[in-house]
Chain A
């Protein structure tokens, strides 16, 4: 009954939406960008820079004439880290506000909650986080880094530098579980050993037992993919217990800016591979940072999520202007040519036609005892190649699925 009504509303929305676009072009009304970011709740400290990045990009684009001469109207709603609210607000933006594009979502759980709703519409959805990879869905464009850009670089480097035994602390939901799976696969290929894996429920803040389990397992290094403010307490408690192990992660430093939030040396010896971190020192990056801090002087750190959120709007602008249309279909034709690129503060980034994920310039960074960040290695531009290799090709077929190393497309 309820879902029937929703489908009905969605259909009605699509019809009305088409009509609105038809009549819109004459009067040049603004483009509506729907944004779902948590600015309260456990993830607010990450979501706030995402909202700021979006606001900065919208302001800049509007000042320089908008997209195809149309101004952008940003409609931000705060789902407060609640997946049910993500769905409710997603429907509201898609069906009632009839946004031209939907952007946002922090956790992978929130993205997977949104995706089926987006898939029932013809609205493009841009996910702006790094994540565990594998989503093969024509409605979704991913702006963040994925495991072949983050884990396939970081884990071999950690194994070579520190040793073959790793202990994993991961948040217990799809992001943590699938990232741990990636680690198992890469460690196996390298002949390494996963000496322990611990999945932590979100919201847990006490880690004395975990710290002892780690000491018992005697790993050479730790993979820390714990998520949220509560779970980040691990670093403080591990430092207090003098655990003193090298750490690697796909989300620490550039995303959670733990090195700014904790007192040194809690994050000492943490490593990550990132397409963006505020310490990047290039003219383009410095210019970007200057504009950001001018608009948001109180920002503790410009994290990669906020940076990707900023890029997402410029990528959307590039797609719409090349397609001369706001329709997903037309935008995907541009993506299929492989020409969907922008000059981002990190350098040129392009959308891969097969997976609709973004290429990134990846750097391996480490944190020192005073929480200073050093670039250890520059990998240059890395393509999001994995989905294409396993057989996802959105130019031919829309799978609407998320693949993992243990869940590959069926050969047909």
Chain B
């Protein structure tokens, strides 16, 4: 019985971690800044490739993962400076520009690195409960997802940068008038978003096949989680991931992956229909 209970928790944690880690970066870039970043998956891919490359050079996995996230963050800030900055007032054009970037990056990776890269293997470690065996690394992923949520909350709610960043997102002109350097705020926020995307790729790199289009497997889940989360991403993303993870886990367990995927997307349609502002609108209203 306890084995069954743990297995339910483990499955929930697994889906939850996948949703949070793939959505966290997008929550900032799309949810807060309003940039429809179609290249989100490519930042995830970047994190994964840098991790594998560094591990192959002999860097220990955890350090490689941190460096990969930083790399994605720095590349993100460069992309912000060169491309995204010009589209803050034209969200639909940002969609096209970042989509074009995504196509260029995946095809270039295919030409430069090739169609497949040898994996590095998941860190050893599994444990058994009842008749089931579990991979320890999946719990590390869950821990990382929770840490990312806590970290985001602290950065944006408890620091001076967070206050100014939220002010800038709400009303850039007013923030600027009060002395905030909005350009730099945008740049850093975008960098944090892409660093989190890179972190997602870095964390999942050992468990997946690396191909240039691997980012695509994360993109649907990440957009869906952020959209369901709603306007206030700091409040909305976590409940959205909990909600979607519960639905997906229950359906996966009883009816298999196809129904799990259909069911989750169906739930998304229902929520957008009933709560066009997302889950956070309910939470914010309660809060008032």
| Residue ranges of A at the interface with B (Cβ–Cβ < 8 Å) | 39-42, 44-45, 47-48, 172, 198-201, 203-206, 208-210, 212-213, 215-216, 218, 229-230, 232-233, 236-237, 239-243, 260-263, 266, 298, 300
CA of A57 to CA of B209, assembled, Å: 30
CA of A199 to CA of B262, assembled, Å: 13
CA of A243 to CA of B207, assembled, Å: 14
Q: Is B253's CB under 8 angstroms from A209's CB?
A: yes
Q: Is A233's CB under 8 angstroms from B209's CB?
A: yes
Q: Is B207's CB under 8 angstroms from A298's CB?
A: no
Q: Is A199's CB under 8 angstroms from B118's CB?
A: no
Contact with A along B1-31 (1 / 0, CB 8 A): 0000001001100110010000000000000
Residue of A48, A203, A204, A241 contacting most chain B CB atoms (<10 Å): A241
Option from A48, A209, A210, A263 in Cβ contact (under 8 Å) with B249: A209
| Residue ranges of B at the interface with A (Cβ–Cβ < 8 Å) | 7, 10-11, 14-15, 18, 106-107, 110, 114-122, 125-126, 128, 131-135, 137-138, 206-209, 211-214, 216-217, 249, 252-253, 256-258, 260-261
CA of A48 to CA of B211, assembled, Å: 13
Q: Is B116's CB under 8 angstroms from A216's CB?
A: no
CA of A42 to CA of B121, assembled, Å: 20
CA of A298 to CA of B117, assembled, Å: 12
Question: B100: shortest Cβ distance to chain A, in Å?
Answer: 16
Chain A positions within 8 Å of B106 at CB level: 40
Q: Is B214's CB under 8 angstroms from A40's CB?
A: no
CA of A45 to CA of B212, assembled, Å: 10
CA of A39 to CA of B116, assembled, Å: 11
User: Known contacts A204-B217, A230-B209, A233-B209; is A241 also within 8 Å of B258 by CB?
Assistant: no
CA of A263 to CA of B119, assembled, Å: 6
CA of A240 to CA of B124, assembled, Å: 7
Q: Is A263's CB under 8 angstroms from B120's CB?
A: yes
Q: Is B209's CB under 8 angstroms from A208's CB?
A: no
Chain A positions within 8 Å of B133 at CB level: 215, 241-243
Option from B115, B207, B213 in Cβ contact (under 8 Å) with A240: B207
Chain B positions within 8 Å of A198 at CB level: 256-257
List 6 interface pairs A-B (beta carbons < 8 Å), by A numbering.
A45-B211, A204-B217, A236-B119, A237-B122, A240-B135, A242-B133
Chain B positions within 8 Å of A266 at CB level: 119, 121
User: Known contacts A240-B137, A300-B116; is A215 also within 8 Å of B132 by CB?
Assistant: yes
- Which residue of chain B is the closest to A47 with respect to CB atoms? B115
Option from B107, B117, B135, B208 in Cβ contact (under 8 Å) with A40: B107
- Which residue of chain B is the closest to A231 with respect to CB atoms? B209
Option from A44, A213, A230 in Cβ contact (under 8 Å) with B115: A44
Question: A204: shortest Cβ distance to chain B, in Å?
Answer: 6
Question: A293: shortest Cβ distance to chain B, in Å?
Answer: 15
Q: Known pairs A40-B106, A237-B135, A240-B207. 11 more at Cβ < 8 A?
A: A39-B115, A40-B107, A201-B258, A205-B209, A229-B116, A239-B122, A241-B138, A263-B121, A300-B114, A300-B116, A300-B118
Q: Is A40's CB under 8 angstroms from B121's CB?
A: no
Q: Is B216's CB under 8 angstroms from A298's CB?
A: no
Option from B7, B107, B115, B117 in Cβ contact (under 8 Å) with A212: B7
- Which residue of chain B is the closest to A207 with respect to CB atoms? B257
CA of A215 to CA of B126, assembled, Å: 14
Option from A42, A204, A236, A243 in Cβ contact (under 8 Å) with B257: A204
Residue of B7, B131, B135 contacting most chain A CB atoms (<10 Å): B135
Chain A positions within 8 Å of B18 at CB level: 206
Q: Is B115's CB under 8 angstroms from A45's CB?
A: yes
User: Known contacts A45-B211, A212-B132, A240-B207; is A203 also within 8 Å of B217 by CB?
Assistant: yes
Question: A76: shortest Cβ distance to chain B, in Å?
Answer: 15
Q: Is A201's CB under 8 angstroms from B257's CB?
A: yes
Chain B positions within 8 Å of A172 at CB level: 258
Residue of A229, A240, A261 contacting most chain B CB atoms (<10 Å): A240
CA of A233 to CA of B260, assembled, Å: 18
Residue of B120, B131, B134 contacting most chain A CB atoms (<10 Å): B134
User: Known contacts A216-B131, A229-B211, A229-B214; is A241 also within 8 Å of B15 by CB?
Assistant: no
Chain A positions within 8 Å of B214 at CB level: 205, 229-230
- Which residue of chain B is the closest to A218 with respect to CB atoms? B131
- Which residue of chain A is the closest to B220 with respect to CB atoms? A203
- Which residue of chain A is the closest to B121 with respect to CB atoms? A263
Question: A202: shortest Cβ distance to chain B, in Å?
Answer: 10
Q: Is A298's CB under 8 angstroms from B114's CB?
A: yes
Nearest first, the 6 closest Cβ-Cβ pairs linking A and B are A263-B121, A45-B116, A240-B122, A240-B135, A242-B126, A44-B115
Question: A236: shortest Cβ distance to chain B, in Å?
Answer: 5
CA of A42 to CA of B258, assembled, Å: 19
Q: Is A230's CB under 8 angstroms from B257's CB?
A: no
CA of A215 to CA of B216, assembled, Å: 29
- Which residue of chain A is the closest to B114 with respect to CB atoms? A298
Chain A positions within 8 Å of B258 at CB level: 172, 199-201
Question: B189: shortest Cβ distance to chain A, in Å?
Answer: 28
Q: Is A241's CB under 8 angstroms from B126's CB?
A: yes
Question: B264: shortest Cβ distance to chain A, in Å?
Answer: 12
Chain B positions within 8 Å of A243 at CB level: 133
Chain B positions within 8 Å of A39 at CB level: 110, 115
CA of A262 to CA of B116, assembled, Å: 10
CA of A47 to CA of B211, assembled, Å: 13
Option from A40, A199, A215, A236 in Cβ contact (under 8 Å) with B122: A236
Question: A232: shortest Cβ distance to chain B, in Å?
Answer: 5
CA of A204 to CA of B15, assembled, Å: 12
CA of A123 to CA of B245, assembled, Å: 51
Question: B184: shortest Cβ distance to chain A, in Å?
Answer: 36
Q: Is B257's CB under 8 angstroms from A232's CB?
A: no
CA of A264 to CA of B115, assembled, Å: 20
Q: Is B207's CB under 8 angstroms from A44's CB?
A: no
Chain B positions within 8 Å of A201 at CB level: 257-258, 261
CA of A218 to CA of B132, assembled, Å: 10
